[in-house]
Chains A and B, each alone.
Chain A
Amino acid sequence: MRTWLIALNLLLAAAIVGATFFWHPAPPPALVLAPAPTGGDFELDGPQGPVALRDFRGKLVLVQFGYTYCPDICPTALMEIAQAFAELTPDELARVQALFVSVDPERDDVARLREYTAFFHPNILGLTGPLPRIREAAARFGAVFSRQDDASAGGYVIDHSALTYVIDAEGKLVAALPHATPARLLAQEIRNHLPPPRKETP
């Protein structure tokens, strides 16, 4: 009987020690983040007709969402892109394309976009299309936008994410750079992901 009690005590002691050492309260349930955007193909309207992201396979593509009425954020972003392009050699530049996707199809048509993007750099192509398709394209990159009617007496403005998306030659989203990334860093990022020059055929 006594041996039994000692054994029980030892067992209890072991259980307590074990519990202290090995029991950890369950962590609070983790917040589940939305899956990271992976990019992907989209098809919109350019000045010469339909333009799809896959049309640029083999080139590094920068995608910027914005609108031409945007007085500050979009010109800043496009100016940095244009300056980054200016730092590239002609050979590098031939393997790079920027797409400016309007989130304001109501006011931006392809003609207006062409005039607008040409002001910054010839390698920037302005795209628009029906709003659902723009939304779909934006969603692939995790870009968001929402029209604000009361922000200014000058008409509605559009809040929009201002990241610059970098898509490699295989069409894969490889980076999302913060707004106003300086041209020099942008050029570095472009070079990091630039496809190798095409082998010249003898």
Chain B
Amino acid sequence: MNRVLACLGLVCTILAAPAHASGMADRIQVGDPHVRLAPPGARATAAFMALQNDGEQPAHLVSAASDAARIVELHDHINDGGVMRMRQVKEIAVPAKGETLLKPGSYHIMLIDMKAPLKEGDHVVITLGFSDGSHKAIHATVRKPAGGAPMRHMGH
């Protein structure tokens, strides 16, 4: 119940402050955005990054778009007793003064049906859309991952 009220409060806050100059996009720092180099024949690949929220309010990533792919979706993985279930999600929350990682086996941005095969070192522009309507364009580098390495996401 409290959570519902808190959510309502948040929605009201968002609705009460439309088209604010400093939207969520401005308060989100994006760390190490990269796209996994897709193996030949793969139809889809994933973009990973760290989303850090400097704001006092939670932020919600609700969309991603890119010219590099025909379909771009927000996804999550659920590890259901060893079975990995990948699902599209409506939003990815970034807690106030907190961080959410988009990383292998977890949240990621799916790039489906690439318009041209991506090469190592390419830069992919991805526009992140937030629940308050603000946007942020980021440049993600295509790279061959050094394994799953969820702990090695920052800096290198």
Contacts and interface: CB of A to CB of B under 8 A. Distances in A.
A167 B148 CA distance: 23
Residue from A152, A154, A182 having most chain B Cβ neighbours under 10 A: A154
Interface residues of A, number: 34
A168 interface: no
Count class of interface residues, chain B: 35 or more
A19 interface: no
B87 A151 contact: yes
Interface in B102-150: 104-105, 108, 110, 112-113, 145-150
B4 to A, nearest CB: 27
B43 A76 contact: no
A151 B112 CA distance: 13
B79 interface: yes
Interface in A110-152: 112, 115-116, 119-120, 144, 148, 151-152
Interface stretch (A1-9, A25-33, A156-164): A156-164
Given A73-B86, A83-B147, A160-B83, 6 more contacts: A68-B42, A152-B88, A159-B83, A160-B84, A179-B79, A182-B149
Interface of B: 36, 38-46, 71, 73, 75, 77, 79-80, 82-88, 104-105, 108, 110, 112-113, 145-150
Interface of A: 68-69, 71-73, 75-77, 79-80, 83, 112, 115-116, 119-120, 144, 148, 151-155, 157, 159-163, 178-180, 182-183
